[in-house]
Chain A
Amino acid sequence: MIDIHIHFRQIQLNKDEVSLATGANARSALLPEFLQRLAMKPSYSAFQTISVHESVIKAMITKYSEQVVYQPLHEIRHWFAYASGAFIEPGYPPLFYSRGKGKKVSPNKSAVAGIGEGVAGFVAQRLYKCRKLARPNHDYPDIVMVGGGKTFLVEAKSTISQGGTAIMATLEQEITRVVTYLNACSGLDKRPVEGLLVGTEIVSQDKYDVYLNEVNI
């Protein structure tokens, strides 16, 4: 079983803040001010924990991952076995070839991204009762979903836990991009559009921390 701990934050932006975000997306000098405004919004709160079988996450990764990734959950288990030091024990690869000068051993990036996309789709389905309309190829956002007369633009980010708050910093930076695109779609589309920015931090093989940002303009 995998425990998905969901932390939720709702971000409602006014016209000024949308302009600031749009500007910051093109001009980095505006970013600190936007981030300052963002810091004044409500922060994440623990929302819900969902325990789900690996097999369900596997199906969601097949459905939502942009890359063809083979057995991503096995990859992550393999990484955590390595990170736990187990590879020094008998029965594991002997390690003499993996690390060269200045080369850092890292988890499989495609597996991490695939899990992030699968979890984002899963969380959106379960919490918003929405359904996948499109999974754009090499495009933005990661998933387009619909439900309750609304369009949900879902963007996924993910990382392996390294004891910091890297995923939260990544999400903060990404919000300007979400807002910029949300603003464009609001002008083009008849239906209301909402942004879901979903960050997954893979804490261990059976625990994910999910930071869900619901963005409205």
Chain B
Amino acid sequence: MKLEMLSDHEFVLNSVVQMLEEKGANSAEEFDSTIDFAITELTKIHLRNQAQFYDRRFQEGKDVFERAINEVAESIQERIPQFKLNKRYRMSLQELRYPASEIFELTSELWESKETNRIGSRISLPPEGNNSYEIIEVGLTGYIEGLLARPVIGSAILDLDKLRAQNFSIKGDWFPFEVSIDELIFTIDDDGTIFVSTENFPERLMSEAKAQLASLVASMC
């Protein structure tokens, strides 16, 4: 069984577009609670993405917030040109003002932490087939609590038959899949991420977890 795993951004954007198309001609005017939740989620994803790639042009939290809303509207308009973010959806987005301020306050801290290696780093993996991944060390340097492999593009392929043929032990008939390799447990989720907990791992075991994670990524497609 081969499964395509979309990033949260791609999945939510695709879902919004599908639901708007299903609603037909009046989609721009009518309110739909599921579309409303999805647009808010998409804006949250944009807020976090912007913060991860800190833009010094932002002077205030509301700049980040406005830009995220505009980006979301534009990404939907790329697929449905007549789409306009109506007043009701904009009202729900106002709930994100305070989280946006918090994200804005933390972006400069994140930038400084990255420059001083205060937090775990990101490691790019060589592309395998259509899959292109990076590994993120989750936690403070010296206290890495987990490793997260994440597709760097919007999607990745999971070929379960191929993994089983290579004697990977896989539990579960749907996401999240549990893969065990040498007593390490890897969680493969529907957004293409793979997580392994590394709490209190000594250096040697941490290196082994990284190597096994890279090997799992390479064997997936």
Asked whether any CB of chain B lies closer than 8 Å to the CB of A63, the reply is: yes
Give A129 to B197 CA distance when docked, in angstroms. 24
Main secondary structure of the interface of A (DSSP, over half): mixed
Give A133 to B38 CA distance when docked, in angstroms. 6
Residue of A nearest to B24 (CB): A190
**B12 A134 Cβ-Cβ under 8 A:** yes
Residue of B nearest to A126 (CB): B174
Interface residues of A in 108-143 (CB under 8 A from B): 122, 125-126, 129, 131-139
**B178 A190 Cβ-Cβ under 8 A:** no
Question: B145-179 toward A: CB 8 Å interface, digit per residue (1/0)?
Answer: 01000000000000000000000000111111010
**B189 A151 Cβ-Cβ under 8 A:** no
**B41 A133 Cβ-Cβ under 8 A:** yes
Give A185 to B8 CA distance when docked, in angstroms. 23
Q: How large is the interface on A (under 10, 10 to 19, 20 to 34, 35 or more residues)?
A: 20 to 34
Residue of B nearest to A144 (CB): B37
Q: How large is the interface on B (under 10, 10 to 19, 20 to 34, 35 or more residues)?
A: 35 or more
Asked whether any CB of chain A lies closer than 8 Å to the CB of B32, the reply is: yes
**B33 A133 Cβ-Cβ under 8 A:** no
Residue of A nearest to B12 (CB): A133
Residue of A nearest to B5 (CB): A131
Question: Which residues of chain B come closer than 8 Å to A138, judged between CB atoms?
Answer: 95
Residue of A nearest to B198 (CB): A55
Interface residues of B in 1-48 (CB under 8 A from A): 8, 11-12, 15, 19, 22-23, 31-34, 37-38, 40-41, 44
Interface residues of A in 52-100 (CB under 8 A from B): 52-56, 58-60, 62-63, 71
Contact flag A59-B37 (CB < 8 Å), given A53-B178, A125-B176, A189-B32: no
**A60 B176 Cβ-Cβ under 8 A:** yes
B162 to A: closest C-beta gap in Å: 21
Asked whether any CB of chain B lies closer than 8 Å to the CB of A191, the reply is: yes
Question: Which residues of chain B come closer than 8 Å to A122, judged between CB atoms?
Answer: 176
**A59 B40 Cβ-Cβ under 8 A:** no
**A137 B99 Cβ-Cβ under 8 A:** yes
Asked whether any CB of chain A lies closer than 8 Å to the CB of B190, the reply is: yes
Asked whether any CB of chain A lies closer than 8 Å to the CB of B219, the reply is: no
Asked whether any CB of chain A lies closer than 8 Å to the CB of B187, the reply is: yes
Residue of B nearest to A70 (CB): B145
**B176 A56 Cβ-Cβ under 8 A:** yes
Question: A140-161 toward B: CB 8 Å interface, digit per residue (1/0)?
Answer: 0000101000010000000000
A75 to B: closest C-beta gap in Å: 14
**What are the 5 closest A-B residue pairs judged by CB atoms, nearest first?**
A134-B41, A134-B37, A55-B185, A59-B187, A55-B197
Chain A residues in the interface with B (C-beta under 8 A): 52-56, 58-60, 62-63, 71, 122, 125-126, 129, 131-139, 144, 146, 151, 184-185, 188-191, 193
10 additional contacts, CB 8 Å, given A146-B34, A184-B33? Answer: A52-B171, A53-B178, A55-B178, A55-B197, A60-B176, A125-B175, A131-B11, A144-B34, A185-B33, A193-B34
